[in-house]
């Protein structure tokens, strides 16, 4: 088929029309799959972003509660430090 005397039209006529239909169907399926993949990736990205924002929000809430003395890791640390300070003051004043 590399004979330059054969025109493009003649080569196109020689291609199996069933193969062209199969190729067109495969291409359409591929396009649909790529579109679905794109939508799934977008949904995954949005979910990950929401999870990240939720984590940050929860951390901020925990820090705010701790600063207000209403619980959380930091409040427990402050309580322990306060107990140590009281014991030290008791030892030094006796």
For 74, phi and psi rounded to 5 degrees?
-65, -40
Classify residue 35: in a domain, yes or no.
yes
Classify residue 47: in a domain, yes or no.
yes
Confidence of residue 91 (pLDDT cuts 50, 70, 90): confident
- Quick check: 17 and 23 in contact, CB under 8 A? no
Q: Quick one: which H or E segment has residue 56? A: helix 17-67
The predicted-structure confidence for 41-80, as pLDDT tens digits, reads as follows 999 988 888 777 766 777 777 777 666 665 555 555 556 6
Q: Which domain holds residue 24?
A: 8-93
The predicted-structure confidence for 26-39, as pLDDT tens digits, reads as follows 999 999 999 999 99
Classify residue 3: in a domain, yes or no.
no
Q: Specify the pLDDT at position 92.
A: 73
- Quick check: 30 and 40 in contact, CB under 8 A? no
């Amino acid at each position: 088929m590399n004979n330059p005397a054969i025109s493009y039209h003649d080569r196109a006529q020689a291609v199996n029309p069933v193969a062209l239909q199969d190729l067109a169907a495969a291409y359409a399926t591929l396009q649909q799959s790529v579109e679905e993949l794109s939508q799934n990736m977008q949904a995954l990205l949005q979910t990950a972003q929401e999870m990240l924002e939720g984590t940050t929000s929860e951390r901020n809430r925990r820090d705010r509660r701790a600063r207000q003395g209403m619980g959380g890791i930091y409040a427990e640390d402050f309580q322990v430090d306060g107990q140590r300070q009281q014991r030290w003051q008791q030892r030094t004043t006796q």
